[in-house]
Structure 1
Amino acid sequence: MSPASLFAVVLAYFALLLGVAWRTSRNATNDSFFIGNKNSNWLLVAFGMVGTTLSGVTFISVPGAVGRDGFGYLQIMLGYVLGYVTVAFVLLPLYYRLKLTSIYHYLDVRLGRRSYQSGAAFFILSRTLGASARLYLVVNILQATLLDSLGVPFWATALVILAMILLYTYDGGVKTIVWTDTLQTAGMLAGLVACAAFLLHAQDLDVAGALARMDGQGLSRVLTLDVHSPAYFWKQVVAGMFITIAMTGMDQEMMQKNISVRTLADAQKNMVLLTVILTAVLALFLFLGGLLHLYAPVAGVAAKGDQLFPAIVMGHLPAALQLVFFIALISALFPSADGAITALTSSVCIDLLGIARRNDLSEAQRVRLRRRVHLAFCALFLALVMVFKWIASPSMIGVILKLAGYTYGPLLGLFAFGILTRRTVDDRMVPLVVLAGPALCWLIDLWQGALFGSYRIGLELLVVNGLLVMGGLFLISRPSGKSAPYPLKCCQKLNFNKE
């Protein structure tokens, strides 16, 4: 299929998104933008969150990594399931009882204003870096496979895509994203299934035969039992669990959609359904990765890692499958950025600028302020995408998980301390503690050979970071002077532990 035809498909897809945005954002308010008027359908939220959770990184990097790691990602997936259960039955009841718009208000209620602002600031840092890295990956694939041949520069591609995202999220926010993410998830999964079915047919294999051949080539290995390896089974399971707790349950983007559902019971059903669908979809991504690695030697494809899937599609699949691939790729692109920019706008407006608390602002002024913040984040994403282009890595999923270990660790430590202890912190010292945790992790990572010998820290860096922050909070805390209830009960009193 010609680049011009594929580009026309991109434009048609975007026109469809704009139509959905126009339909859902009519009469939208700040309440619509931030929490979807608390009226989102839980089935739509669950399905749409699959696309947000997976993004373009999963679509490209997980299949590409099978050649190196086999099906080892299943170890992390087991941890994901445990993490989602924790989010559904520990964190969501907390957020619903507090009736939160921003989940970081819990830190204000439990620990204090500086803790609240520190948590929000680390979310903003985490989501900005992670989402812009995801966006870069997919923009780079679109550029290399389509737009370079049309003479479009990389910076123009990134600018136009961010302008598209701005147009359909500018007014509707969460109210719009619940619907557009559902559409985009459907497109991504259709592409995944179609490509896997074609590769099975092209190699004259059924599912059982493909798995047997993958096993014969060492592509389907799952367990790593070497305790010194970064991919050791228990390290991966524990890391997967805490990655989910931190990057879903303590992430405003993910929880913003959850708390837009009317009731706690529906939000919990959403999380359970998300877990089931996500597990099946990730398993299918690994299967597709195995098929790609079986097909590559036969077709003479030398590409590896993130480049493998696009190279096979553009060089060896028929035009119809190329079209499906591009729809799926675009569908994976938008959820990685639209929800992030919306959630970041919400967090800055609510947590840092206090838009809901300022009586000196009219509703029109609040809307104007929110729109300016939204525009600023689009500009920041463009700048960061250009930075990632400059320092490109062969596997962006590794970069993103590494960043998450440093930036989500403080959130994990703050929430864990608030939920698991009854102590009162010196709130003024909290910003120093949450900065010290990542700094110590960087030193540990740098000197781990001298500290641990042959043992290598992998994804558990997130857990180490959280424990360091939690330990630091313990050092600047004291026993509560009153009979403090457990945090799930403290939600009944919004002035708990505040002095």
Structure 2
Amino acid sequence: MTPVAVILTVLGYIAVLFVVAWLSGRRADNAGFFTGNRRTPWYMAAFAMIGAAMSGVTFISVPGSVAADSFSYMQMVAGFTVGQLIVAYVLIPTFYRLRVVSLYEYLDDRFGVSSHRTGAWFFFISKMLGAALRVYVVCAVLQLLVFAHYGIPFWANAVITMAFVWLYTCRGGVKSLIWTDTLKTLCLVGSLVLSILFIMQALGLSAGETAREVAASPMSRVFFFDDPSSDRYFWKMFAAGIVLLVAMTGLDQDMMQRNLSCATPRDSQKNIVLTAVSQIFVIFLFLVLGVLLYLYADRTGLSLPAKSDQVFSLVAVDGGLPLAVGILFVVGLISSTYSAAGSALTALTTSFTVDILEGTKRRDEAQLTRLRKGVHVGMALGMAAVILAFEYWADDSVINLVYKVASYTYGPILGMFAFGLATRRRVRDRWIPVVAVAAPVLSALLQHWALTAWDYQIGFELLIYNAAFTIAGMLLLSQSDEK
């Protein structure tokens, strides 16, 4: 697949994306930008959430990870399913009862202004880093396929990407995201299924033969019960999946803004349960695709790249497969990236405007619109800067790096919400920022000590320890009188 073909495919998708975004967001006001006016049908939100839960990281990194991690990711997916039920039946009723625009308004209602601001700032850091990581991996692939060919530097790649993301989200916000996420779901799932079919055809495998080949591969091992010290141990990944889903979806303004756009909590719950079931099948197909990619590379003598995240792009674009496979790869990659970056940009704008800036509720519609647009530009520039920083720092499988970042930054948010929902105790609100900063530091020290003293690897379950340190700190700050 030539660089020109890649460019034409990208521009074609962006043109469709802009038309969808313009049609859906042309009459959006501030309520439409922040909450979609709470008029989204639940089935549309559910279909959009299938794609929203999958980023370019999922599209690239999950298939490539099977060589090192086999199908162990499904252990975490099992935890994700339990976590979705907690979000649906614990968090959704709370957020609808309070009629929040930003999730972190709950912390203000429960504890006070310092807790509210602390939760918002940790979300800001978490989402900025996580979203930038997701966009970075796609920029890296496009740099390899297109920009390097024309001598265009990586910084220009990042700036161009974020400029397009800003343009298609600047008007509609959440109201546009529901429709663009629907487009993303169609493109991503379609690209996934058709890529599998084309590779099966290239290998000369029927559906039954493919199932046998995948089952016989050592890369298809799902369960790991043998070594509790391993970061792939079942119970560690299962528990981590539960808390990661609650933290990264249920307490994440980016993901929850779609669920909260439904008219009623019942509709939102139906959306979440359907998304949970769909997610199991889609991620399993990504892992199957990973086995087929390595099988194809082995049988055709392709040299594997140094980074597993580049395996899919190598096989799809330069592996001798039909041009359609390369086009499907680019469409799936671009659709997942632009949607994920757009939703993150909208969520960051919403949270920063509502939670962090003072006096927002006292502004009229025109003032709030000007403020929101200014913040939106600032968030786009900030994300581009972080993407450039990752170009010189990221050296891990990006799917692993995303969850490592989340384990540190979402821990205080998870701890604060858990304490608020599980107890009725008040806390000394002004000291909450100290607790929130101390918890990740103590978690990092615990991780280092466990590895040094016991040769025990704390993996994704680090988020649990991080939240526990936060809860312990809040207990120390708690007051005897109950609300």
TM-score bucket of the superposed structures, by smaller chain:
over 0.9
Cα separation, 2, equivalents of 1:407 and 1:121: 10
* 1:317-328 alignment runs, 5 A limit: 317-328=321-332
2:6–2:145 CA contact under 8 A, matched in 1: no
Cα separation, 2, equivalents of 1:271 and 1:27: 27
The aligned residue for residue 153 of structure 2 is: 153
Cα separation, 2, equivalents of 1:276 and 1:354: 40
1:200–1:210 CA contact under 8 A, matched in 2: yes
The aligned residue for residue 84 of structure 2 is: 84
The aligned residue for residue 312 of structure 1 is: 315
Q: Which of residues 437, 440, 446 in structure 1 aligns to 2:439?
A: 437
- When normalised by structure 1's length, the TM-score is 0.94
Q: Does 1:253 align with 2:257?
A: no
Q: Which of residues 365, 389, 392 in structure 2 aligns to 1:390?
A: 392
Cα separation, 1, equivalents of 2:89 and 2:252: 16
* 1:99-114 alignment runs, 5 A limit: 99-114=99-114
2:65 aligns to what SS in structure 1? helix
Question: Shift of the alpha carbon at 1:150?
Answer: 2.9
2:85 aligns to what SS in structure 1? helix
Question: Shift of the alpha carbon at 1:246?
Answer: 0.4
Note the alpha carbon deviations across 1:406-455, whole angstroms, 9 max, x for none.
0000011000000111211010111100110001011112222234x132
Q: Which of residues 408, 411, 429 in structure 2 aligns to 1:409?
A: 411
Question: Shift of the alpha carbon at 1:382?
Answer: 0.7
The aligned residue for residue 175 of structure 2 is: 175
The aligned residue for residue 424 of structure 2 is: 422
1:74–1:222 CA contact under 8 A, matched in 2: yes
* 1:71-470 alignment runs, 5 A limit: 71-225=71-225, 226-304=227-305, 305-316=308-319, 317-354=321-358, 356-358=360-362, 361-451=363-453, 453-470=454-471
1:456 aligns to what SS in structure 2? coil
Q: Which amino acid in the other structure matches residue 38 of structure 2?
A: K
Question: Shift of the alpha carbon at 1:314?
Answer: 1.3
The aligned residue for residue 48 of structure 2 is: 48
Note the alpha carbon deviations across 1:301-325, whole angstroms, 9 max, x for none.
2325101111111112211221111
Cα separation, 2, equivalents of 1:463 and 1:394: 22
Matched pairs, number:
479
Question: Shift of the alpha carbon at 1:355?
Answer: 5.2
Question: Shift of the alpha carbon at 1:247?
Answer: 0.3
Q: Which amino acid in the other structure matches residue 315 of structure 1?
A: D
Cα separation, 2, equivalents of 1:311 and 1:191: 16
Note the alpha carbon deviations across 1:151-171, whole angstroms, 9 max, x for none.
332222211111111111101
2:249–2:255 CA contact under 8 A, matched in 1: yes
Note the alpha carbon deviations across 1:173-212, whole angstroms, 9 max, x for none.
0001110111012111111111111111122223442233
Question: Shift of the alpha carbon at 1:240?
Answer: 0.3
The aligned residue for residue 29 of structure 2 is: 29
RMSD (Å), alpha carbons: 1.3
Cα separation, 2, equivalents of 1:421 and 1:207: 52
Q: Which amino acid in the other structure matches residue 328 of structure 1?
A: G
1:480 aligns to what SS in structure 2? strand
1:349–1:355 CA contact under 8 A, matched in 2: no
Q: Which amino acid in the other structure matches residue 259 of structure 2?
A: N
Cα separation, 1, equivalents of 2:455 and 2:442: 20
1:54 aligns to what SS in structure 2? coil
2:257–2:347 CA contact under 8 A, matched in 1: yes
Percent identity between the two aligned chains: 43
Cα separation, 1, equivalents of 2:394 and 2:419: 36
Cα separation, 1, equivalents of 2:145 and 2:394: 17
Q: Which amino acid in the other structure matches residue 182 of structure 1?
A: T
Cα separation, 2, equivalents of 1:26 and 1:331: 21
Q: Which amino acid in the other structure matches residue 427 of structure 2?
A: V
Question: Shift of the alpha carbon at 1:78?
Answer: 0.4
2:426 aligns to what SS in structure 1? strand
Q: Which amino acid in the other structure matches residue 126 of structure 2?
A: S
Q: Which amino acid in the other structure matches residue 156 of structure 1?
A: A
Cα separation, 2, equivalents of 1:80 and 1:117: 28
Moved more, 102-111 or 340-349: 102-111
